[in-house]
Amino acid sequence: VAPIKALCSQRFDDWKEKFGPIGLSCKELTGDTVMDDLFEIHNAHIIITTPEKWDSMTRRWKDNSIVQLVRLFLIDEVHVIKDESRGATLEVVVSRMKTVQSSFCRLSESHDTVPPLRFIAVSATIPNAEDIAEWLSDSKIPAVCLKINEDQRPVKLRKIVLGFPCSDNQTEFKFDLTLNYKIASIIQTYSEQKPALVFCATRKGVQQAASVLAKDAKFLLSAEQKQRLQRSANSLKDSRLRDLLMCGVAYHHAGMEIPDRKIIEGAFTVGDLPVLFTTSTLAMGVNLPAHLVVIKSTMHYVGGVFQEYSETDILQMIGRAGRPQFDTTATAVIMTRCSTRERYIQMLNGADVIESSLHRHLVEHLNAEIVLHTVTDVTVALEWIRSTFLYIRALKNPSHYGFFSACTKNGYVFTLLTELCLKNLNDLSSLDLIRMDETNNFKPTETGRLMAWYYIAFDTVKQFFTIKGTETLKELITMISNCAEFLDIKLRTNEKKILNTLNKDKDKISIRFPMEGKIKTREMKINCLIQAHLGCIPVQDFTLTQDTGRIFRNGLRVT
């Protein structure tokens, strides 16, 4: 289980080659693969998947026959558990595997016949590994916790944090732009004429920074390198990128055409391209190691506001420094404001403790477990809570979860978790998503089943309960555009022009139900793209086409 589709497909390509010859078959299961076929999975020896996909697949199976066949559960990048939006899913999937296995062992009395399920969790960035070990342990066998030191790294990593002055009246954008002019000297100082990777906060920022460097710096390229770069440049679609590539500079982000991305990745991997600018999201996905990694500004743009990178983000980016096949040393440089320099030095030394975020998404996951019959009554619900990472961390750091730390008796924290659990159960039964009988057993209802089956957020279901049946098509589209399922769609400044034209234009075909005013919010963008797609209006923008694809993938579940 790995947190990102790109990581899954890398592993899949790699392991297919490695395990195929010895007769083991690998299957890749992500949102991008169409294969939900149980039959195919039954015949696989190794399944490579994301937590979300494994969660939604295991929610749909009538029985847990496949889950029971799993004997080794590998969790890559287990620190993702602290991610506010996605961590809860990983936590629940692992807890579900533990619960199914333990009930399975109870049923098959002869314990010797069933080898227990083994977990192996790895991460480069966890300070409280003991907590993860405690969570993965079962009553009989404690988990082994191995902490491997920095000095075991095949490539020694030098970490440098540079603070730059930022006046109070300077906006984040301005500060970010000033850093563009500092890149040339940093590369000159630290790159040792080897490939450098520079992380920027936005797609636009990536292109701007690359243009500035191409003007500021001259790279010494051999005649062969120039020829190879010329060949690569000739096959690129993006003309701006073509000119930059000839200067030895390029950029790479998720909004680019895939053939162009592949060409740039190729040129960088073989060492022909001295500097590559890319967005921070790439740190998790594509594996492009470099001798020097530069993080240009520690703020990024999330949902319309600037915020500091999380520690996991920073460590992921730094993790790209060092090419074991070429280097024995590597360097990572973080460029930040003078005021936050200390904070990043501390972060690189110690790392923040990993907490759970399951308490924020408890209601959806409780419902799913009830639908699966993993949780059948209050007693089992509380036992299930005890099997989570949330339980382990809440006992150690109650105030993080909104419990008062004055009452640190374990029993008291458990009482508070019980209350939280009961509140969520009541929320579910108030919308008739579950029913309780006289003996306090839970029964899932048809609506609850649909919610778990289609992976719908509780807030969305709550919204559906306001539907009267007299809504117009326009109102339904507006309602769907407001759903929590589309939270990851962003409205980017450079898209507003195209969207406004789609919304109202006297010369071109525009959408059927135009919205008042200009497109200002994520919801309006989603509404506009849904209507454009249903109205067969062509959208000439690659990132918007990508977003439309995502909206319709999620929208199908919601409708």
My answer on whether 307 and 180 are in the same domain is yes
Residue at 181 is within a domain: yes
Residue at 42 is within a domain: no
The confidence score (pLDDT) of residue 154 equals: 82
Residue at 521 is within a domain: yes
Tokens of 170: 């300077």
Number of domains, the chain: 2
Query: Which residues make Cβ contacts (< 8 Å) with residue 99, sequence separation at least 6?
Result: 369, 374, 384, 387
Tokens of 62: 């009538």
My answer on whether 345 and 483 are in the same domain is no
Tell me the three state secondary structure of residue 278.
Answer: strand
Name the residue with tokens 């120039």. 226
Residue at 103 is within a domain: no
CA–CA gap between residue 442 and residue 136 (Å, rounded): 27
Judge whether 522 and 490 are in contact, CB under 8 Å.
Answer: yes
Tokens of 158: 């030098």
Judge whether 209 and 200 are in contact, CB under 8 Å.
Answer: yes
Last residue of a domain, one of 349, 369, 391: 349
Q: Rg for the chain (alpha carbons), in Å?
A: 26
First-to-last CA distance in the chain?
29
**pLDDT under 50: residue ranges of the chain:** none
CATH of the domain at 550: 1.10.3380.10
The confidence score (pLDDT) of residue 430 equals: 92
Last residue of a domain, one of 287, 318, 349: 349
CA–CA gap between residue 335 and residue 313 (Å, rounded): 14
Tell me the three state secondary structure of residue 526.
Answer: helix
The confidence score (pLDDT) of residue 209 equals: 94
The confidence score (pLDDT) of residue 335 equals: 95
Judge whether 200 and 280 are in contact, CB under 8 Å.
Answer: yes
My answer on whether 471 and 337 are in the same domain is no
Tokens of 134: 């405690």
Domain of 504 in residue numbering reads as: 466-556
CA–CA gap between residue 437 and residue 69 (Å, rounded): 33
Residue at 400 is within a domain: no
Residue at 338 is within a domain: yes
Cα-based distances in Å from 486 to 299, 482, 551: 23, 8, 7
The partner residues of 299 in beta bridges, in order of sequence, read 308
The confidence score (pLDDT) of residue 294 equals: 96
Tokens of 160: 């440098």
Residue at 12 is within a domain: no
The confidence score (pLDDT) of residue 406 equals: 54
Residue at 28 is within a domain: no
CATH of the domain at 284: 3.40.50.300
Residues present in the chain in total? 559
Measure the CA angle with vertex 473, ends 472 and 475; round to 5°.
65
The confidence score (pLDDT) of residue 138 equals: 78
CA–CA gap between residue 288 and residue 293 (Å, rounded): 11
How remote is the C-alpha of 173 from its chain's centroid?
A: 25
CA–CA gap between residue 32 and residue 34 (Å, rounded): 7
How remote is the C-alpha of 372 from its chain's centroid?
A: 26
Last residue of a domain, one of 297, 328, 349: 349
Judge whether 249 and 268 are in contact, CB under 8 Å.
Answer: no
The confidence score (pLDDT) of residue 62 equals: 60
Query: DSSP states of 154-203 as a string?
Result: SSEEEEEEEEE---TT--HHHHHHHHHTTHHHHHHHH-TTS-EEEEESSH
My answer on whether 476 and 344 are in the same domain is no
